[in-house]
Structure 1
Amino acid sequence: MSAPQDPGLQPERTELSWRRTLLALAVGALVSVRVLPPVLGGWTVATGLLGVLAAAVLWLLARRRHASVAAVFRGSVAATAMPGGGLLLALTVFTAVGALLGLGYAVLLRAG
């Protein structure tokens, strides 16, 4: 098996993909702040701002993960376990909770 073509670039590509994902989350939250209050009420502003805050926190965690993985690729830290599973779990839980809350509100809005 040959060595990778671009040693050390994989963490950079992963960090860039996390950045795009969290930018999309922040933009979606900001759009919801702008568009949804007339339809769903004023509480959507707080929810949208919570989404922006969550994107910022996840971005900081992604930067920390990138630094850890880059250190492993540079060889300055022994590779015991690759970090980052918690970051993916946090993003998944945040997205699932938001989707379930939105679905529940839509069902209640339609029923009432």
Structure 2
Amino acid sequence: MSRSALLPGAPLDPGLQPERTRMAWSRTSLAFVANGALLVRAGHVPDRWWYMLPGCAVMAAGCVVYVVGLLRHRQIYRAVRAGTPASGDRAIRATLLTAVVTCVLAAAVLLGRP
């Protein structure tokens, strides 16, 4: 919630909450990309290139999470400027589901290696 919504007449500072949101989504996407790279490395087996596919999928998911974070940043920025609540937890739930799938893929790659 913006300061002006709490204190009428106070100057609007819409940059802090959306900025924190953008940084959190950026860190999350970086974690996905880094874990995907580790999965690619763990799945690197000669003559079995398909073992690296889960890692590539996780890295692609990291890129998608980054784009979703940018969209979420814009949504929160507009909501803060308008003084309305920024609702919508679909992106958060989708990211949680992606994290769970990442864990399952990591286990599959590490346990399925010859």
TM-score (norm 2): 0.71
| 2:82 is the alignment partner of 1:82 | no
Distance (whole Å) between structure 1 residues aligned to residue 78 and residue 25 of structure 2: 18
Unaligned 5+ segments in structure 2 are: 1-5
Unaligned 5+ segments in structure 1 are: none
Instruction: Give the drift of 1:64.
Output: 0.6
Instruction: Give the drift of 1:12.
Output: 0.7
Pairwise CA RMSD: 3.0
Other-structure match for 1:95? 99
Higher relative contact order (CA 8 A, sep 6+): 2
Q: Secondary structure at the match of 2:41?
A: helix
What is the count of residue pairs matched by the alignment?
Answer: 104
Instruction: Give the drift of 1:99.
Output: 2.1
Written as runs of structure 1 = structure 2, the 5 A alignment for 1:15-94 is 15-38=22-45, 42-75=49-82, 79=84, 81-83=86-88, 85-94=89-98
